[in-house]
Amino acid sequence: MKVGKNKVVTLTYTLRFDDNEGEIIQQVNEERPFVHLFGNGTLLPTFEANLDGLEAEGNFSFGLTPKDGYGDFTDDAIIELDKSIFEKDGKVDEELVKIGNMITMQDQEGRPIDGRVMEIKDDKVIMDFNHPLAGKDLHFSGKVLEIREALEEELSHGHVHGEGGHHH
Ligand SMILES: [Zn+2]
């Protein structure tokens, strides 16, 4: 069986900056591998394209430019917000609104979006909504451990059930 659309793929990976000798950002090992319903649109398309067609035990190693990864860093994603929106009972939650803190907000369509507090002014908070990996060259390497057909139920839910997946 090969990696492809509607297959459940179990894999390990190491994500680094720059290239295969770059600083490690994230490592997923065989003890707690990543289990993914291939082709469900939640992964970077370039990530899936590089795994497509691999068999179990197959290795992968590829670089991602910001264009194929998390986009370029843009000043448009740095936004000044009224401090009052962080108020609870008339008081700004200072544990939450701290420089460097990640806060989950909602975009205009109501989807969750994470922003990092950059600067706090008297009545404004400046937040950076760029993805933390925006503007970075990235490198993925890893190994496919297992491939199986997705179950009907998994396909209709759009995610994996069981080990490494959703339990409900
Ligand atoms: Zn489900």
Q: Which tens digits make up the pLDDT trace of 20-67?
A: 999 999 999 999 999 999 999 889 999 999 999 999 999 999 999 999
- Distance from residue 19's CA to the centre of ligand 1 (Å): 36
* Residue-range domains of the chain with CATH: 7-69+134-157 (3.10.50.40), 75-128 (2.40.10.330)
- Distance from residue 42's CA to the centre of ligand 1 (Å): 15
- Distance from residue 86's CA to the centre of ligand 1 (Å): 34
- Distance from residue 148's CA to the centre of ligand 1 (Å): 17
Q: Is 152's pLDDT higher than 90?
A: yes
- Distance from residue 28's CA to the centre of ligand 1 (Å): 23
Average pLDDT over residues 77-85: 94
- Distance from residue 68's CA to the centre of ligand 1 (Å): 29
- Distance from residue 167's CA to the centre of ligand 1 (Å): 7
Write out the chain in H/E/C secondary structure.
Answer: CECCCCEEEEEEEEEEECCCCCCEEEEECCCCCEEEECCCCCCCHHHHHHHCCCECCCEEEEEECCCCCCCCCCHHHEEEEEHHHHEECCEECCCCCCCCCEEEEECCCCCEEEEEEEEECCCEEEEECCCCCCCCCEEEEEEEEEEEECCHHHHHHCCCECCCCECC
- Distance from residue 155's CA to the centre of ligand 1 (Å): 9
Q: What is the pLDDT of residues 118-149, one digit of tens each?
A: 999 999 999 999 998 999 999 999 999 999 99
Q: Is 90's pLDDT higher than 90?
A: no
- Distance from residue 165's CA to the centre of ligand 1 (Å): 9
Arithmetic mean of pLDDT over the chain: 94
How high is the pLDDT of residue 164?
85
Q: Which residues contact 108 (CB under 8 A, 6 or more apart)?
A: none
pTM for the full model? Answer: 0.79
Average pLDDT over residues 64-71: 94
